[in-house]
Structure 1
Amino acid sequence: MAAQWSVVERIRLITALQDCEDQLAVLGHVMPNVGMGHLEMLEQRNGVAQQYQAEEAGLAKQELRSQKESNLNPENKPDSLAEVEYDRHFVAQVITNLLRELRETGTFHSLLSTIEEEKKRKAHIRDFIIREEEGRRKTKTLQRQLLDIRKEKVLDLQRRDEMIAHLKDQLQETKARTDLEMTYVTKNSELQLYQEQKLNSVKDKDLEAEIKRLHEKLEEERRSRIEMERFLKDDQLALGEKLEMWMERYEKDIEEKQQELTTLKNNRASNLARLQELAKQYRESEQVVIADRLEKENLRREREKEEMEWTAAIKVQSWWRGAMVRQGLGPYKKAKKPKAKESKKGKKKKK
């Protein structure tokens, strides 16, 4: 960058910048005095080219604080003269730094860096202000939402109060109804208790009468049991006598039946021998009958066979005779008729 400027051009540029610096100094003496707050702001911005990175956050906060104070107090807002004074002081500081750099190195990097830093600072402040405005808008939105929520809560509380009042009314009605029901149940229970006592007294009398009747019946049953025992004893003696009589009769009958059994056994032996003899005769007769039946069966089969052969022969003869008649064979052959010539001649004449 130093090679681009000649000595004469650099001197001319330095002279022009010194002239501008002097004019700005004169302008600073001519302008009226400004507030202390703005002078402090100017003093803070004198070293912006060297200390911008370290003081960027503090400057932004001070700008925001000063803007808030100016918004809250309209009397403290800076006027156009204060802004001109700030710009004059800033330009004078930049020109001073640029003259120093031109005299020392012949370059103007400080001017470019100061301009870039000032742009960045203003952009940062602008972004900070935009974020603050967005925060305010969000705060207002949240406040409106909070008001809506409060309204909803108030309405909800009112509805709940109404519901509580309604439930209290229902509770009072329920208590009154419960008291009436309890009174009714108590009176009904007392009445039922009185009725039960009456019924129990009647039942007690009935039970006493029943107990008395059962005692009388028990006494009667006891007398009946004694009479029954006496009767059963007498009956047992009579049955004992009858048993002895029947035992004697039983033994006698056993002897008689034993004799009859012996007689039957003897008869059975004789009958068995007779039966065996009859069985032998039956078997012999049965063999004779079977042989006779076989002979008769053979004769019957022979007769049936002869009858079948005779019937078949008759059928064959009948069929053969019918066939000869139909075919005209043998004695059933038909004789040929002679042809008449005269009849033929007569037919020709007619034609």
Structure 2
Amino acid sequence: MEKLTHLEALLFTAVLENCVDQLSILGHIMPVSHEGRTDISHTGSQEIKEILETEKELDINYQELVSARQGSGERVTCLPLKSTEHKQQLGKTEELKSTHHLSKRAMKQSVLSVEQLRKIQAARQYASDVITVTMKMMQESGTFNSLTEANEREKAKKSKFHDFLIREEEGKKEIKSLQKQLQDVKKETEIELQNRDAMIDYLKDELQEMKAKANTESSYTKKSTDLQVHQTQKKCSNAESVLDKEIQDLRRKTDEEIRIHMETENFLRQQHKKVEEKLQYWMAKYENDTDAKDEELDALKASKANNLERLQRLAEEVR
């Protein structure tokens, strides 16, 4: 880049100084509450706090006046007030109401103006700094590269901002597309839910029918089971009666058999006793008869021996 002549540099410097002065004047004509303060957000927060405190005080005064007005209205029957005092209270009440609304409105505007003034102040300060640096460079080297670089930076920022806007538009389009897809999905989901609800209603009807059928079958089964149980109980009762009768017959027969057995046993005992007595008699008789026969046998043996002896003597005599 070609250097500027000294005269051109002076001319451009004068123009730029005029711009700096105008920017300085612009900074001075800004609201007084923001002059001489570097932290605009802090100033805005201070104003908001003051407005809120003022609003609280106005609310308290307003409530006191309203309560005083109500109290004065209740005491009309006892102590009538003067019309002028009543009008003054009404005027104060209306004034406090209007002040209350104005304070709220001022607070909202203050919040907005703080942000706007902060942006304006930052832009003004940035332009003033760039022009000051450009003036210094023109005075020292006769060039305005800093201004060109600042311009390039702003172009780059604008290009980035433009790209950001393009991406934002694309994002919006994508969001719209996604919203449309979401709507389609919602519709499909609603249709699916409706189908599911219809299926649920159908299944509920089927369940009710199955419950009714099951209740009918259960009732029939219960009645049939009760009838079978009754019949079985009747059969068991009849069989039990027959068995009881058989048991009674068997007991009677058993008693009779026991009685017969006892009589037979007694009879046999008596017969056994008689047989024992006869056995003892016959044993005694046997012993007696045996002894008698033994004696007779001994006598016969002795007689035989005597006879043999006599026979031998006779035989010898005969010889």
Q: TM-score range by the shorter chain?
A: 0.3 to 0.5
User: Which structure is larger by alpha-carbon Rg, 1 or 2?
Assistant: 1
Larger relative CO (CA 8 A, sep 6+): 1 or 2?
2
| TM-score for the superposition, normalised by structure 1 | 0.40
